[in-house]
Amino acid sequence: MSFIYLWQNREKSHIFSWFWLKQWAKRILYFPKLITVLKTKFLLKIRGTKIGSVSIISNKSRIEGSLHKLTIGDCTFIGQAYLAIHADIRIGSFVVINDGVKLLTASHDVNDPSWSSFAQPIIIDDYAWIATDAIILPGVHIGKGAIVGAGAVVTKNIPEYNIAVGNPAKLLDKQRVQQLKYNPAQLVACYEAWLGKY
């Protein structure tokens, strides 16, 4: 499905022009990476994950648990992350999740004498950016366009367009711009070779 999308939406130029030759050289050069991306998506899909078009998940991500509880929207980029799926993880469209991020849907109740475990969903809305090495704990909802800073540990919901940093994560006084219209998947070389620069 993704390759069909790339073919139908490919950047076109005059045949045998300098730009056309350059395009096809890039497509051939990045074709092995494209195959890896498509294979990773395919393997996740056949195990129950719902993934939108042109989304990318690193084949070096560690994904454990019930894959049918993972939903990813369109044009989302997930780097070398760790996803522990004991409850639903719902990731929107145009989301960026950088390397080293951990999404943890389960933990233990420290106030319970028997130290019982619990699981709660994680929801990440469209255009959110989770920076390198951030940790998102069970039950957290990251609002549309919100940013989680590098290394932050998020224990509470982050409202739309807010920026959270630190351990535990706290909101900054400033907000992110709200007219977001980028496609993070198109910034990845194997997709950019087909779709052109964003």
Residue-wise DSSP of 89-114: EEE-SS-EE-TT-EEE-EEE-TTSTT
Active-site entry in 68, 86, 108, 141: 108
CB contact burial 135-168 (16+ within 10 A = b; e otherwise): bbbbbbbbbbbbbbbeebbbeeebebbbbbbeee
In order of 44, 111, 164, the CA distances from 35 in angstroms are 14, 48, 36
For residue 30, the Cα-to-chain-centroid distance in whole angstroms is 21
Active site residue 108: yes
- Report the catalytic residues: 108
